[in-house]
Amino acid sequence: MASTLFNASCSFPSIKVIDCKSYVGLRSNVSQVRVASLPVATSQRCSLVVRASNGHAKKLGRSDAECEAAVAAGDVPEAPPVPPKPAAPAGTPVIQPLNLNRRPRRNRASPTVRAAFQETDISPANFVYPLFIHEGEEDTPIGAMPGCYRLGWRHGLLQEVAKARAVGVNSIVLFPKVPEALKNPTGDEAYNDNGLVPRTIRLLKDKYPDLIIYTDVALDPYSSDGHDGIVREDGVIMNDETVHQLCKQAVSQARAGADVVSPSDMMDGRVGAIRAALDAEGFQNVSIMSYTAKYASSFYGPFREALDSNPRFGDKKTYQMNPANYREALIEAREDEAEGADILLVKPGLPYLDIIRLLRDKSPLPIAAYQVSGEYSMIKAGGVLKMIDEEKVMMESLMCLRRAGADIILTYFALQAATYLCNQKR
């Protein structure tokens, strides 16, 4: 059996026999490297001998030269015949083909071709998983959001996060169900360092240090009025006084270990004020995801049931955006950029694809989209009623948000969609 001898000078303290067969997937003609195990000083020279065996080479028949000579002489090997042209159904008209220079369907002809030219992709890394938490020990189903629960912060939450991480979702955002007894007109519980959200952050970071935790910065879960800000006696939402409270809330969350604070309140100037407050407390590395274009939408109903945070009176139209407005989103985006936002978010998601694309085209910052509770519940309801294929519509809706320009998607489908994607790869 032929072999090749390779000599090289080297410096080794001790060399041992290495069997290449122990390395799964390693293809090589080198069957074994044998070197005497000799303890030598690192400065001492030695000789490394590698013997490469070609024992795996097998002669299958004629040589390459013989094959080529046979073909040149007209002795061409047989191959399958050209397949017949598929027959059209009876009654199909016989026509002259259209004289088209370009037929875009050629690039959609097979799964392999479609996959090669797919412009948008989606993965579990694109998902942020919204999770509802409460003080109780049991997980409480949310009637308007099938498959979603108010999770016990000490047990159910940890289990849900573990399941999400197992399929590649390592980012979550927390929404608390606050006891009524702790709510007041100024939402002071929002910045209690031992409140539900800070305690939960500390627990999660202790268990999963690399988990990325987003938090919601707004007063509505803590307000006895159910609004995102402090309400004056005439019903006006007080802007600057609310921002003062939001700054304390953001700092409290950062102190507990939050990675990204997310003001969803839509008060003017809150991004800059929060950035200044975080920096003043030494939290320069905590990011801000601003709810930049948050519309006064009717798609939020199930969420408000989940947190029991419906406004006690009126609506939120004096601070959330008019669904009819498009250019106004640019005003909000420019202000948030100038004030130091790290991520711009559009909410809701699917009904506002044009706004996502607008911000994607006009801003260099990452864009987030929130597929809100109403979007989620409609797909779930359609699936239960067998009116749609829930799984396919779920994935299409998420892909559309990505295609429009969203870098990340806050979605209650995060666990289900990530599980689907993982199964597709197997």
Give catalytic residues, as residue numbers: 294, 347
Beta bridge partners of 217: 263
- 338: which 2 tokens? 């100038």
Beta bridge partners of 176: 133
Closest C-alpha among 212, 205, 209, 188 to residue 256: 205
- Integer Cα distance of 306 and 142 in angstroms: 6
Count CA atoms closer than 13 A to 321's CA, side-chain side: 24
Helix (H) or strand (E) holding 368: strand 367-371
Please give the DSSP secondary-structure letter assigned to residue 180.
Answer: G
User: 3-class DSSP state for residue 133?
Assistant: strand
Please give the DSSP secondary-structure letter assigned to residue 127.
Answer: E
- Those residues with Cβ within 8 angstroms of residue 41's Cβ, 6 or more apart along the chain or in another chain: 13
Q: Angle at CA 237, nearest 5°, toward 232 and 240?
A: 100
Cα dihedral 275, 281, 283, 284 sign: positive
Please give the DSSP secondary-structure letter assigned to residue 105.
Answer: G
Closest C-alpha among 373, 369, 371, 370 to residue 305: 373
User: 3-class DSSP state for residue 195?
Assistant: coil
